């Protein structure tokens, strides 16, 4: 399952909207930590409470839930992905 998550992160980095990338990273991290699948929103809320820079996750959650469209910086989303990839390694 984690191999699939890594492939999905690679694809999302190149092709998906930033909120998809951020919340996919959160889902991969959630699964790795708790050994169960969660929705993007559930995983995002969980990860926001654990990541040192939760603003990027919170912005992705706002976009995902349709409550607004805050900017999600490429650098911040890639920083989260790098962090999650290290956790998964």
Q: Which of 81, 66, 64 is nearest to 14 (CA)?
A: 81
**Any long-range contacts for 41-48 (C-beta under 8 Å, 24+ apart)?**
41/65
Number of separate domains in the chain? 1
User: Which pLDDT band, with edges at 50, 70 and 90, does 68 fall under?
Assistant: confident
Whether the CB-CB separation of 46 and 30 falls below 8 Å is answered with yes
Q: pLDDT of 8-57, one tens digit each?
A: 888 888 889 999 999 999 999 999 999 999 999 999 999 999 999 999 99
59: left (phi over 0), alpha (psi -120 to 50) or beta: alpha
Whether the CB-CB separation of 63 and 19 falls below 8 Å is answered with yes
**pTM score, two decimals?**
0.90
The answer, yes or no, to whether residue 81 has pLDDT greater than 80, is yes
Residue 35 is encoded by which pair of tokens?
Answer: 């050994």
Can you give the residue range of the structural domain that contains 57? 2-88
């Amino acid at each position: 399952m984690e191999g699939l998550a890594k492939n999905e992160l690679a694809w999302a980095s190149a092709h998906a909207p930033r909120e998809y990338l951020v919340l996919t990273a959160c889902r991969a991290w959630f699964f790795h930590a708790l050994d169960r699948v969660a929705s993007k929103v559930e995983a995002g809320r969980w990860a926001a409470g654990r990541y040192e820079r939760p603003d990027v996750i919170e912005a992705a959650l706002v976009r995902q839930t349709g409550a607004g469209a805050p900017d999600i910086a490429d650098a911040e989303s890639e920083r989260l992905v790098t962090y999650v990839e290290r956790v998964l390694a």
